Amino acid sequence: MSDEYDNNKSYQAQSSEVMDGSTGSVNPDIDYVRPAEVGEQDLYHGHSFIEKWVFCQDAKVIGVQYFLTAVFTGIVGLILSWLMRLQLGFPELAGFMTAEHYYQFVTMHGMIMVVYFLTALFLGGFGNYLIPLMVGARDMVFPYVNMLSFWMFFVAVAVLMASFFVPGGPTGAGWTLYPPQTILEGTPGSGTGILLMLISLSLFVIGFTMGGLNYMITILQARTRGMTLMRMPLTVWGIFTATVLAMLAFPALLVSAIMMTLDKVLQTSFFMPTILKAGEVLEYGGGSPILFQHLFWFFGHPEVYIVALPAFGIVSDLISVHARKNIFGYRMMVWAIVGIGGLSFFVWAHHMYVSGMNPWFGFFFATTTLIIAVPTAMKVYNWILTLWRGNIRINTVMLWCLGFIVTFVNGGITGIFLGNVSVDVPLSDTYFVIAHFHMVMGIAPLMVIMGAVYHWFPLVAGKMLHEGLGKWHFWITFLGAYSIYFPMHYLGFIGVPRRYFEMYDSPYMTSAVGMNEFISIAAFIVGAAQFILVFNIIKTLKTGKKAEQNPWKANSLEWYTSTVPPEHGNFGERLPVVHRWPYDFSVPGAKDDFIPQTTAPSEVIHTEVEKT
């Protein structure tokens, strides 16, 4: 269907040019693939342990390094969420926790999960591992810069974690870091803590830019022969678009971090108006706190899609492979990803309807925000239409995908509440918001990450994760997470504000006590259930059954490497040549229910496969 070749005539015209001898096909004309325009890249193979596993230039190792570091931060974020839930559900058991601690945990949990966990995991982790494999490249185009990218991220994480141990502790300004309170006394960690946060964010952006350049240029320039843009797996499309967004959005974060550092250290007044503290007028004047919010959300909203788009892409591929059916409406899916990415730069102020910005902005940003619901809904329809008339394997991977659909649609619908400016007024800054964004950009992407781990683990480790444990892991996580966040919306309806250390003295909030206890218990269980995966991985690495090559019978190139797990250089002697999209499943007339991307048209000439 997509990206069709002109027609048979043009193939014949081209057939007098260089022929691809490697396919050894019956009818060479229809198998023609344009020759490569540039030679192959030289790779630097590591020789020592340090070069192979520490300062390694292989994107796959870098991907695993990113993954493990991000998971480490994620576990820290998880523990912080437990502590918060302990305070909210059972304050009598959390006597050791002061309001300062609570706000520090809230802040660090938010920042860690959004930036250091989800972003790093999807782009640094999955991006590094999958991009070269899926587009048929031997590695990223700038392997050395790629290595630096990870180590910059590593230093950023180290600086962030160091802030737990400085006097005053980490910043407790909320992950949005809204000035003026962020750098004033009255907010925990307004001394060293906030400085380390700002430095860490700046390092993260620098490191991420190095990686992001690699992802973009590898996808644009290093695809193998025949891998047209419209034959790329949606995983690659998602990661690619997210990277472009990140390259445009992160500078806004960097700029605001630098300005705030100057406000803090040199008493400049980018974001600081005249302020009266404890009877004294401070040495600030004329700055705009709302300017910071605009800059922050100019980064912050695309950031949501930096997390969501790779998840969209990955889940599309997982659903297609395990439903044994082509992804429905591939071109629509690609344009929806690109369209959502583009629109995501025009919706940022929907986080600021009640921020005190000019209220007339509300009309514009409500309209753009609700427009973005259309391509997003199309993606949802196409996922479920891919399931329709499929041949669905209900395995662990598919369960995570189904869980993703439920949580994502749920969180997407509540997004329509919050995006619709006047509906946002009563709900903003309440628990409804917390429930919404955890459902849509916490749990839903997490479902995809988990599905992806179960799906690609056989490729990365060469062994199959245990299915039974995987299903337990899924059901506890899905049911638990759903019962945390679904009822939480109703706390928001009552009007319970977010970021409250305690709140039971208000008459209409006492009814929330029981629910808070329930939510906390669910949170403890869901968190603990994640260690089932850790156990599963350790057990599988030790005693797991060896995976055959391409255990899921997928079509995309990562499963057609010379060895499993793939070695440095990925594809052995010859790079693969691509003849089709990765979604030729269950083609009528074909022997198997899948046709790999490398299969030449002449080999499936008797089937009803469509041109892609």
Question: Which CB, 55 or 417, lies closer to another protein?
Answer: 417
Peptide bond into 180 cis (omega under 30): yes
Q: Which is nearer to another protein, 200 or 414 (CB)?
A: 414
- Contact flag: residue 356 with another protein (CB under 8 A): yes
Residue 326 CB coordination number (10 Å): 21
C-alpha torsion sign, points 141, 145, 151, 154 = negative
* Binding span for another protein by CB under 8 A among 357-365, 434-442, 453-461, 535-543: 357-365
Q: Which of 487, 521, 532, 562 binds another protein (CB under 8 A)?
A: 487
Which is it for the CA torsion 57, 63, 66, 67, positive or negative? Answer: negative
Contacting residues for 291 by C-beta, under 8 A, at least 6 apart? 270, 271
128 with 66: CB under 8 angstroms?
yes
Residues 472 and 360: their CA atoms lie apart, in Å, by 50
Reduced to 3 states (helix: H, G, I; strand: E, B; else coil), residue 47 is coil
User: Is 378 a residue that touches another protein (CB under 8 A)?
Assistant: yes
> And the tokens for 316?
């599309």
Q: Which is nearer to another protein, 36 or 374 (CB)?
A: 374
Which 3 state secondary structure label does DSSP give 281? strand
Tell me the CB-side half-sphere exposure of residue 218, using CA atoms within 13 A.
Answer: 32
Can you tell me which of 53, 90, 144, 388 binds another protein, judged by CB under 8 A?
388
Contact call for residue 525 and another protein (CB under 8 A): no
Window 555 to 594, contacts with another protein (CB under 8 A): 583, 585-588, 593
Asked if 392 interacts with another protein (CB under 8 A), we say yes
Looking only at residues 182 through 211 of this chain, which bind another protein when binding is defined by CB under 8 A? 184, 186-188
Q: Where are the alpha helices (DSSP H) in 166-288?
A: 192-221, 234-265
Give, as ranges, the residues between 489 and 508 that touch another protein (CB under 8 A): 490-491, 493-495, 497-503, 506-508
**Is the CB of 163 or the CB of 382 nearer to another protein?**
382
Q: Please, which residue, 117 or 292, has the CB nearer to another protein?
A: 292
Minimum CB separation of residue 394 from another protein in Å reads 5
Virtual torsion, Cα 560, 563, 565, 571, nearest 10 deg: -60
How near is the Cβ of 368 to another protein at its closest, in Å? Answer: 11
Size of the site for another protein (CB under 8 A): 115
Comparison of 67 and 383: residue with beta carbon closer to another protein: 383
Output the CA–CA distances (angstroms, integers) from residue 401 to 334, 405, 461, 478, in the order listed: 19, 6, 22, 11
Query: In the complex with another protein, which residue's Cβ is closer, 26 or 394?
Result: 394
Residue 309 contacts another protein per CB under 8 A:
no
HEC string for 327-340: CCCHHHHHHHHHHH
Q: Which helix (H) or strand (E) holds 276?
A: strand 276-277
**Binder among 79, 93, 281, 541 for another protein (CB under 8 A):** 281
Tell me the one-letter amino acid at 287: G
Q: Per-residue contact track with another protein, 409 to 438, x per CB under 8 A?
A: xx--xx-xx--xxxx-xxxxxx--------
How is residue 36 annotated by DSSP? P
By CB under 8 A, tell whether 391 contacts another protein.
yes
Q: How far is the CB of 606 from another protein (least distance, A)?
A: 14
Question: Which residue in the set 170, 362, 451, 480 belongs to the binding site for another protein (CB under 8 A)?
Answer: 362
- Residue with Cβ nearer another protein (79 or 99): 99
Token pair, residue 262, equals: 């100057």
Do 313 and 337 meet the contact criterion of CB atoms below 8 Å apart? yes
Rounded CA-CA distance 297/311 in Å is 21
Residues 21-50 that bind another protein (CB under 8 A): none
Beta-ladder partners of 281:
276
Could you write out the three-class secondary structure of 351-366? HCCCCCCCCCHHHHHH
- Residues 287-306 binding another protein (CB under 8 A) are 287-290
Only one residue has tokens 């782009």, namely: 123
Contact mark string toward another protein, 60..99, x via CB under 8 A = ---------------------------------------x
Interface with another protein in residues 310-349 (CB under 8 A): 323-326, 328-332
Stretch that binds another protein, among 206-214, 240-248, 300-308, 382-390 (CB under 8 A): 382-390
The answer to whether residue 256 forms part of the interface with another protein (CB under 8 A) is: no
477 binds another protein (CB under 8 A): no
Any contact of residue 268 with another protein (CB under 8 A)? Answer: no
CB of 535 to another protein, least distance (A): 22
| Backbone torsion region of residue 24, taken as left when φ is above 0, otherwise alpha when ψ lies between -120 and 50, otherwise beta | left
Residue 151 or 361 having the CB closest to another protein: 361
Amino acid at 411: G
Asked whether the beta carbons of 367 and 421 are under 8 A apart, the reply is no
Residue 211 CB, nearest approach to another protein (Å): 32
CB of 577 to another protein, least distance (A): 22
